[in-house]
Amino acid sequence: MSSSLFAPPRFSNLAAAAAGEKPLTWRQRRARFRQIWTLARRHGLLPFRKLDFSYDPATAEVRARQARGLREALEEAGGGFIKAGQLLSTRDDILPTEWVRELSRLQKEVNPAPAAQIEELLERELGERRGRFATFDVDPLAAASIAQVHRATLDDGTVVAVKVQRPGIRALLDCDIDIMLRLAGWATRRIKQARQFGALDIAKQYAQDLRNQADFAREASNLESLAQSARSARDEVRIPRIFPDLSTDRVLTMEFIDGETITALRREGQTDEIEDALRTVLRSFLRQLVIDGVFHADLHPGNVIIDPEGTPALIDFGSVGRLDRDLRQTVQDLAIAFLQGDTRRVADAALAIMPLANPADEPGFRRALAEFVTHDLGSGSRVTLRTIDNASDLFTRYGSALPADLVAAGRAFAILEGTLRTAAPTMDVIGESRDAAQALILSQLRPRALAGAIGRSALGAFPRLRRLPDRLETIVGDLADGKLTVKIRLFADDRDRRVVTGVIRRVSTVILGGMLAVASFVMFVLPPFEGGSLSPVAAGVALAIGAAASFVTASVDALLGRRP
């Protein structure tokens, strides 16, 4: 068998499609899986069940060695595996310190794609518009596993950043995602620790993140939405302007923002400006979440830049969350109740959009939610991804479910909290969030904001007001013709239905017992007769026993029905 059959797929072999990318062939996918398996064996990661994810101090050296092996294997694998490792490095809520520390050292830079391939992709994607670039730096400013960024100048002198997908990356990502999901599923079935921290669910979540990272059309839409919100709010955080006519599914052309990422500043020891800048980012994120309903969902240290004037800027908009009007209103209600420390109103806001499967469980749910808010979201608490998982589990336990967009919002906040905790360790994130949220809520009480809210409400009510005369005419007509009907749904609450059903059941049982008692009395007063297989007295005794059983059953049912 030819050794070339199992050669790992090369990026240069994946860029042949003219208008898109061909998926990897069966042989290429098998070769990729063989490559990953070989890397895992070479770096001491097999068998997977021997990997140590415990917190036992006695095995810290073992965890450090295994974590180093995983980092090296991911770096050699490249493709989606580097990005997945970087995402996993933020999960200090489920991984021991040794694993998080080592994964955080994953290379942020990889070897750039050959210049000829980048030029070919630009020509294919932009066509004649390629001539709009007066200059284009062949050497990228940054080269990551999915894309690389080049500095360029437009024909009018504007300096821009051009983000170009690595040729062949989509096909390789699809293959890598399939391999990761299969490995995570295998580990979940066979390894207890993998089941405990939800390896398969995490893999599915990161798979979607990876797909979003490679969807430049989605990223362009996300960027424009955030930029428009920032302009309307006169936000202090910079959002780069996009050039739609020079952007495609594989090329993004944006305003160039000079500066250093939080990651680079920390590495260089320049921490003086970081805390103030991150406080501004926190305020901006909360505004995006609570007011706008469009928020950056991946604010790790590499996605926040501080320019020479100390102004923070956001980059990389592949992961952006959105909340509809109802969810945004719920978030505002939750924020107000949380600021006031009113756990009752927190529960009211949650139940308004996430009703329980069984209303009788509401008292228990309220107690559990109050305990969660007090202990997991109290002053000085850490909001990690595990916190979001706990909140989701709480609702699931009571037969409800957090909306996926709301979970995404919580997850985004947890990622930002992790950035704040590592880059500005002295910052009280919960306290700062309370202050920022309070300022945001109060800002909505200003005359201009109130006028805007009233205007939007009036605009929303206008279609209903326009239909009101027709509806009134219909009601009056039906009333005059005697055809007006009113539908009332009785006993919509399950608790009411159970009460009524219980009353009917007990009344029926008592009536049955009474009938049996009357029949028993009749049997006792009848004179004995010959030829029957059962004497009246025996029948009376049997009927009396039946009557007594009915009365006892009704009494026990009534006692049980009094329990909450």
Nearest to 332 by CA among 459, 442, 225: 442
Q: Which of 174, 176, 292, 298 is flagged as catalytic?
A: 298
* CB-based contact 284:235 (threshold 8 Å): yes
Measured CA distances, 276 to 111, 237, 310, 316 (Å): 34, 12, 9, 21
298 is catalytic: yes
Measured CA distances, 74 to 38, 176, 285, 318 (Å): 12, 11, 31, 22
CA 370, distance to chain mean position in Å, is: 22
Q: How many CA atoms lie within 13 A of 549 on its CB side?
A: 7
* CB-based contact 395:354 (threshold 8 Å): yes
| Cα–Cα distance for residue pair 519/498, rounded to 1 Å | 31
| Cα–Cα distance for residue pair 63/71, rounded to 1 Å | 12
Is cis: bond before 47, omega within 30 of 0? Answer: yes
Q: Is the dihedral of CA 557, 561, 562, 564 positive or negative?
A: positive
Stated length of the chain: 564
| Cα–Cα distance for residue pair 85/102, rounded to 1 Å | 10
* CB-based contact 102:119 (threshold 8 Å): no
| Cα–Cα distance for residue pair 404/97, rounded to 1 Å | 29
Q: Which residues contact 290 (CB under 8 A, 6 or more apart)?
A: 328, 331, 332, 335, 437, 440, 441
| Cα–Cα distance for residue pair 184/181, rounded to 1 Å | 5
Q: Determine the 3-state secondary structure of 503 from DSSP.
A: helix
* Active site members: 298
